[in-house]
Structure 1
Amino acid sequence: MPEEQLFKLEDQRTRTEIAAALRDAAEQIESGSVELKSETDSRDVTVPKNARFETELERLTDSETGEKRYELEYEIRWTE
């Protein structure tokens, strides 16, 4: 199944700013309507009443430097 990226935002934030963004996202998800916004793009999406929710924690190691980084992801998935 081909992917089509509809929106992406990635930036550096403090832990407090991240928590505030997640609280705002949670309120929007609960209402059923989420507004995604960056400096150059915006997108509105309706989240269905029932969806698949995934939590994932990964440790990745850079093959050249050996540096380890962690990724904590929360994902909501549904079909049309």
Structure 2
Amino acid sequence: MPEEVLFKTEAIRTRSDVADYLRTVADKLDGGDSLTLTAGNDSVTLDPPERVEFEVKAERETSTGASEGELSIEFELEWDERQSGSAGDTGDLAIE
């Protein structure tokens, strides 16, 4: 399925700044509110349903032959625009 990027931003932030962004997202989700993402002149508003597919992924990207590389943690919320967000459950997630 083709992908259309509606919004993208990437910048170096402090851990504290990232935590503030994630808290805002958490508060919006918990309150049932829509999320508006804005950077410069770009903006998009999304309204996640009550149930979403939640993906957490940790990755290491290495160049050929390298034993060390770039580490990342990705958090993704996904839902079908036509459905009410009935996502499958693959087990309990713990983040400590």
Show CA shifts across 1:51-78 (max 9, x none). Answer: 10010000111238x3511110000010
- CA distance in 2 between counterparts of 1:62 and 1:27 reads 38
- Opposite residue 61 of structure 1, the aligned amino acid is T
Question: Counterpart of 1:73 in 2: which secondary structure?
Answer: strand
Give 1:25 deviation, angstroms: 1.1
- Opposite residue 41 of structure 2, the aligned amino acid is T
- Counterpart for residue 89 of structure 2: none
Moved more, 40-49 or 24-33: 24-33
Name which one, 1 or 2, has greater alpha-carbon Rg.
2
If the length of structure 1 is used for normalisation, what is the TM-score?
0.89
Kindly report the root-mean-square deviation, in angstroms, between the aligned alpha carbons of the 2 structures: 1.4
Show CA shifts across 1:16-74 (max 9, x none). Answer: 1111111011112222310101012011110100110010000111238x351111000
Higher strand content, 1 or 2: 1
Percent identical pairs in the alignment equals 38
- CA distance in 2 between counterparts of 1:50 and 1:36 reads 20
- Counterpart for residue 56 of structure 2: 55
Question: Counterpart of 2:21 in 1: which secondary structure?
Answer: helix
Matched, 1:9 2:9: yes
Q: Name the count of aligned residue pairs.
A: 79
Question: Counterpart of 1:76 in 2: which secondary structure?
Answer: strand
- CA distance in 1 between counterparts of 2:25 and 2:63 reads 31
- CA distance in 2 between counterparts of 1:14 and 1:75 reads 20
- Counterpart for residue 26 of structure 2: 26
